[in-house]
Amino acid sequence: MPEPRFTKVEEPFIPYVPDQQVIERLRPVVEPYMKRMGFLPNALKLYAYRPEIAETLFRLNSNIMRDPSSTLDQFLKRKLSALASKTNGCAYCTAHCCNMLMRPKEGAEGWGLSQDELLKILDDDYRPENAMEAACFAYVRVASTNPSEVPEAILQNLKKHLTPPQIVELACVVGFWKFYNAVHDSLHIPVEEHLLNDTRYVDV
C-alpha cells in the first residue's frame, strides 16, 4: 500500500484568513461548501483574500461538477476529477477527491468506494468496461498531461460515445481541475490533517 505523501500538518506561506471572516466574506458559497464537505477547507481560507474571484470559482465548480443541467453523471465526473488531479500531481486536490469518493454514501456527497476500488480507478492501466467511460478516462489522462497533443483517435472515440454537450462538459472538467491544481500546488496549500492519509493516492 502506498505511504502518505505528507505526514504532518504544515502552515501556508501566507496566513489563512480567520474562519469567521471567511464565512462572513463568502457566506453564500462557503455554507453549501461546508455542508457538502463537512469542514472548511484550507484553500477557502486563502481564496477569501479575493472574495470576488472565490465566488466566481465556486460557482464554476458547482456548474461543472454538480449542476442540475449536467450532461455527464456526477459520480463519473468525481472519478475523473480524482484522475485529473492525480495526473497533474496535485496532492491537495487528489486527497480531497479521493476522500470524497471513499466517504459513505449517506454523506452530503459520498460515493462509498473501497480503497481497492479507488486504487483500481487511479491505476494508469485502468480501463472501464463501459465504452463511454473508457473514452472519458482516455481523454482525461492525455488532456491533463498535454492538452495540445490529444490524439485524433481519442477525439473520434469521444465523438462516437458522447454528445457534443457531453464532450464540452468533459473538457471543462479537465480545464477546471488543471486550474485548481495549479493554484493549490503553486501556493503549497497544506493538506488538512484528517486528509493526510489520502495524499498516498498521488503517487499510486
Buried (b) or exposed (e) across 166-198, using 16+ Cβ within 10 A? Answer: bbebbbbbbebbbebbebbbebebbbbeebbbb
Backbone phi, psi, residue 45, to 5°: -70, -15
Between helices 152-161 and 131-145, what is the axis angle to 10°?
Answer: 140
Over residues 23-46, the mean pLDDT reads 88
On the question of pLDDT at 10 being above 80, the answer is no
C-alpha cell read off for 97: 477527491
Nearest to 201 by CA among 122, 134, 105: 122
Give me Rg for the CA atoms of the chain: 17
DSSP state of 191: P
The pLDDT of residue 78 is 96
pLDDT digits (tens, 9 = 90+) for 111-144: 999 999 999 999 999 999 999 999 999 999 999 9
Identify the residue with better confidence: 1 or 105: 105
C-alpha cell read off for 74: 456526477
Question: pTM of the full predicted structure?
Answer: 0.90
Over residues 176-188, the mean pLDDT reads 96
The pLDDT of residue 30 is 87
On the question of pLDDT at 204 being above 50, the answer is no
19-203 in CATH: which number?
1.20.1290.10
Amino acid at 37: M
How buried is 39 (Cβ within 10 angstroms: 0-12 exposed, 13-18 middle, 19+ buried)?
A: exposed
CA distance 104 to 141: 27
Q: Where are the domains of the chain?
A: 19-203
